[in-house]
Amino acid sequence: MKNTYFETICIKNRTPLLLAFHQKRMDKTRQECLNLHNAIPLDELIQLDEITDNSFWKCRITYSDVIHKIEYEKYEIKHPKTIKLIEQADFQYPYKYSDRSAFETILQNQKDADEIIICKKGLLTDSSYANFAFFDGRDWFTPKLHLLDGVKRKCLLQNKIIHETDISINNISFFQKIAFLNAMRGLSTSYNFTFDPTQQLLHLF
Protein backbone atom coordinates (compact mmCIF):
# COMPACT_ATOMS: atom_id res chain seq x y z
CA MET A 1 0.00 0.00 0.00
CA LYS A 2 1.46 3.33 -1.03
CA ASN A 3 1.92 6.21 1.37
CA THR A 4 -0.54 9.04 1.48
CA TYR A 5 0.10 12.49 2.92
CA PHE A 6 -2.08 15.28 4.22
CA GLU A 7 -2.30 19.00 4.84
CA THR A 8 -4.49 20.44 7.58
CA ILE A 9 -5.44 23.99 6.66
CA CYS A 10 -6.90 26.46 9.12
CA ILE A 11 -9.91 28.43 7.89
CA LYS A 12 -10.84 31.49 9.95
CA ASN A 13 -13.56 33.95 8.98
CA ARG A 14 -14.01 31.85 5.85
CA THR A 15 -10.40 32.55 4.82
CA PRO A 16 -7.76 29.79 4.43
CA LEU A 17 -4.60 30.74 6.36
CA LEU A 18 -0.93 30.10 5.51
CA LEU A 19 -1.97 28.67 2.16
CA ALA A 20 1.34 29.50 0.43
CA PHE A 21 3.24 27.58 3.12
CA HIS A 22 0.95 24.56 2.74
CA GLN A 23 1.29 24.70 -1.03
CA LYS A 24 5.07 24.77 -0.85
CA ARG A 25 5.21 21.81 1.53
CA MET A 26 2.76 19.78 -0.51
CA ASP A 27 4.70 20.47 -3.72
CA LYS A 28 7.98 19.51 -2.01
CA THR A 29 6.47 16.28 -0.68
CA ARG A 30 5.13 15.25 -4.09
CA GLN A 31 8.45 16.05 -5.75
CA GLU A 32 10.68 14.29 -3.23
CA CYS A 33 8.47 11.30 -2.41
CA LEU A 34 6.61 10.70 -5.66
CA ASN A 35 8.83 12.39 -8.25
CA LEU A 36 5.86 14.49 -9.35
CA HIS A 37 6.44 18.07 -10.41
CA ASN A 38 2.92 19.16 -11.33
CA ALA A 39 1.46 21.34 -8.60
CA ILE A 40 -2.12 20.80 -7.46
CA PRO A 41 -3.39 24.28 -6.50
CA LEU A 42 -4.80 24.11 -3.00
CA ASP A 43 -6.86 27.25 -3.45
CA GLU A 44 -8.86 25.46 -6.14
CA LEU A 45 -9.62 22.51 -3.86
CA ILE A 46 -11.01 24.31 -0.83
CA GLN A 47 -14.77 24.78 -1.04
CA LEU A 48 -15.78 27.59 1.29
CA ASP A 49 -19.47 26.77 0.91
CA GLU A 50 -18.69 23.83 3.21
CA ILE A 51 -17.92 26.36 5.97
CA THR A 52 -21.11 27.35 7.78
CA ASP A 53 -19.83 30.12 10.09
CA ASN A 54 -16.84 32.36 10.83
CA SER A 55 -15.28 30.24 13.58
CA PHE A 56 -12.13 28.12 13.22
CA TRP A 57 -12.44 25.22 10.79
CA LYS A 58 -10.05 22.47 9.77
CA CYS A 59 -9.76 21.45 6.15
CA ARG A 60 -7.83 18.20 5.83
CA ILE A 61 -6.65 17.30 2.34
CA THR A 62 -5.32 13.75 1.89
CA TYR A 63 -3.24 13.18 -1.22
CA SER A 64 -0.55 11.22 -3.05
CA ASP A 65 -0.34 11.39 -6.82
CA VAL A 66 -4.02 12.38 -6.72
CA ILE A 67 -6.34 13.96 -4.18
CA HIS A 68 -7.91 11.19 -2.09
CA LYS A 69 -10.15 13.07 0.28
CA ILE A 70 -11.09 16.57 1.46
CA GLU A 71 -12.71 16.87 4.88
CA TYR A 72 -14.02 19.83 6.87
CA GLU A 73 -14.74 20.07 10.57
CA LYS A 74 -14.97 22.71 13.26
CA TYR A 75 -11.79 23.01 15.27
CA GLU A 76 -11.77 22.41 19.01
CA ILE A 77 -8.45 23.13 20.67
CA LYS A 78 -7.02 20.45 22.96
CA HIS A 79 -5.14 21.35 26.12
CA PRO A 80 -2.55 18.76 27.14
CA LYS A 81 -1.86 18.47 30.86
CA THR A 82 1.25 16.32 31.07
CA ILE A 83 4.02 15.80 28.51
CA LYS A 84 6.45 12.89 28.63
CA LEU A 85 9.90 13.27 27.09
CA ILE A 86 10.65 10.16 25.03
CA GLU A 87 14.15 9.34 23.83
CA GLN A 88 13.89 7.97 20.27
CA ALA A 89 17.15 8.71 18.47
CA ASP A 90 16.03 7.01 15.24
CA PHE A 91 12.51 8.46 15.06
CA GLN A 92 11.70 10.06 11.69
CA TYR A 93 8.69 12.02 10.42
CA PRO A 94 10.10 14.25 7.64
CA TYR A 95 6.87 14.36 5.63
CA LYS A 96 3.27 14.74 6.77
CA TYR A 97 2.33 11.09 6.38
CA SER A 98 -1.26 10.01 6.93
CA ASP A 99 0.12 6.99 8.77
CA ARG A 100 0.80 8.30 12.27
CA SER A 101 0.92 4.91 13.96
CA ALA A 102 4.47 5.45 15.25
CA PHE A 103 3.27 8.44 17.29
CA GLU A 104 0.08 6.68 18.33
CA THR A 105 1.92 3.60 19.61
CA ILE A 106 4.20 5.70 21.82
CA LEU A 107 1.25 7.73 23.12
CA GLN A 108 -0.79 4.64 23.96
CA ASN A 109 2.07 3.34 26.09
CA GLN A 110 2.08 6.43 28.33
CA LYS A 111 0.14 5.93 31.54
CA ASP A 112 1.22 9.19 33.17
CA ALA A 113 1.03 11.61 30.22
CA ASP A 114 -1.41 12.71 27.53
CA GLU A 115 1.24 14.12 25.17
CA ILE A 116 4.85 13.36 24.25
CA ILE A 117 7.92 15.15 22.98
CA ILE A 118 10.37 13.08 20.98
CA CYS A 119 14.00 13.59 22.01
CA LYS A 120 17.13 12.63 20.12
CA LYS A 121 20.24 12.19 22.24
CA GLY A 122 18.83 14.57 24.82
CA LEU A 123 17.68 17.23 22.34
CA LEU A 124 13.98 18.04 22.09
CA THR A 125 12.32 17.86 18.64
CA ASP A 126 8.50 17.87 18.27
CA SER A 127 5.38 16.75 20.07
CA SER A 128 3.10 14.13 18.53
CA TYR A 129 0.99 16.70 16.68
CA ALA A 130 2.92 19.96 16.59
CA ASN A 131 6.16 21.83 16.71
CA PHE A 132 6.49 23.95 19.84
CA ALA A 133 8.29 26.94 21.29
CA PHE A 134 9.50 27.82 24.77
CA PHE A 135 9.34 31.32 26.28
CA ASP A 136 12.20 32.50 28.49
CA GLY A 137 10.51 35.67 29.73
CA ARG A 138 11.61 37.75 26.77
CA ASP A 139 11.80 35.65 23.58
CA TRP A 140 10.32 32.50 22.09
CA PHE A 141 12.62 29.66 21.03
CA THR A 142 11.86 26.56 18.97
CA PRO A 143 14.10 23.49 18.67
CA LYS A 144 16.56 23.65 15.81
CA LEU A 145 16.32 19.87 15.65
CA HIS A 146 12.74 19.16 14.56
CA LEU A 147 10.91 16.26 12.96
CA LEU A 148 8.53 18.09 10.62
CA ASP A 149 8.89 21.42 8.88
CA GLY A 150 5.64 22.87 10.19
CA VAL A 151 3.92 25.76 8.41
CA LYS A 152 3.28 27.86 11.54
CA ARG A 153 6.85 27.31 12.72
CA LYS A 154 8.24 28.35 9.34
CA CYS A 155 6.03 31.45 9.19
CA LEU A 156 7.00 32.58 12.70
CA LEU A 157 10.69 32.01 11.96
CA GLN A 158 10.52 33.96 8.71
CA ASN A 159 8.90 36.85 10.55
CA LYS A 160 11.50 36.64 13.36
CA ILE A 161 8.79 36.11 15.97
CA ILE A 162 10.48 32.94 17.21
CA HIS A 163 14.11 31.84 17.07
CA GLU A 164 15.81 28.49 16.50
CA THR A 165 18.14 27.01 19.08
CA ASP A 166 19.12 23.60 20.43
CA ILE A 167 16.92 22.80 23.41
CA SER A 168 18.13 19.99 25.63
CA ILE A 169 16.56 18.22 28.55
CA ASN A 170 19.12 19.95 30.74
CA ASN A 171 18.00 23.50 29.92
CA ILE A 172 14.20 23.11 29.98
CA SER A 173 14.18 24.72 33.43
CA PHE A 174 15.44 28.00 31.93
CA PHE A 175 12.05 28.48 30.25
CA GLN A 176 8.73 29.64 31.68
CA LYS A 177 6.09 28.77 29.09
CA ILE A 178 5.44 26.41 26.20
CA ALA A 179 3.21 26.90 23.14
CA PHE A 180 2.37 24.33 20.48
CA LEU A 181 2.73 25.36 16.85
CA ASN A 182 0.77 23.93 13.95
CA ALA A 183 -1.61 25.21 11.30
CA MET A 184 -4.40 25.49 13.87
CA ARG A 185 -2.63 27.04 16.85
CA GLY A 186 0.24 29.31 17.80
CA LEU A 187 1.76 31.52 20.47
CA SER A 188 -1.59 32.97 21.57
CA THR A 189 -2.27 29.72 23.46
CA SER A 190 0.58 29.03 25.86
CA TYR A 191 1.04 27.22 29.15
CA ASN A 192 3.13 27.66 32.25
CA PHE A 193 4.79 24.44 33.29
CA THR A 194 6.94 22.67 35.83
CA PHE A 195 9.48 20.02 34.88
CA ASP A 196 10.14 16.81 36.77
CA PRO A 197 13.57 15.62 35.54
CA THR A 198 13.31 12.32 37.40
CA GLN A 199 10.11 11.31 35.59
CA GLN A 200 10.93 13.32 32.44
CA LEU A 201 7.52 14.99 32.70
CA LEU A 202 6.31 18.51 32.00
CA HIS A 203 3.19 19.46 33.97
CA LEU A 204 1.24 22.22 32.20
CA PHE A 205 -1.06 24.72 33.85
- Per-residue confidence band for 2, with pLDDT thresholds at 50, 70 and 90: confident
For domain 82-204, the CATH architecture is Alpha-Beta Barrel (3.20)
Same fold, 5-74 and 82-204: no
What are 57-100's pLDDT values in tens digits? 999 999 999 999 999 999 999 999 999 999 999 999 999 999 99
Q: Report residue 95: phi and psi, to 5°.
A: -125, 160
Cβ atoms of residues 59 and 46 within 8 Å: yes
Structural domain boundaries of the chain?
5-74, 82-204
Sign of torsion over alpha carbons 137, 139, 140, 144 = negative
Fold annotation for 5-74: D-amino Acid Aminotransferase; Chain A, domain 1 (3.30.470)
Cα 16 to Cα 46: distance, rounded to the nearest angstrom: 8
Single pTM value for the model: 0.95
Cβ atoms of residues 180 and 187 within 8 Å: no
Cβ atoms of residues 109 and 130 within 8 Å: no
For the beta carbon of residue 150, count every other beta carbon within 10 angstroms.
Answer: 24
**Averaged pLDDT score across all residues of the chain:** 98
Cβ atoms of residues 18 and 12 within 8 Å: no
- Answer whether residue 1 shows pLDDT above 90: no
What are 151-183's pLDDT values in tens digits? 999 999 999 999 999 999 999 999 999 999 999
pLDDT for position 205: 98
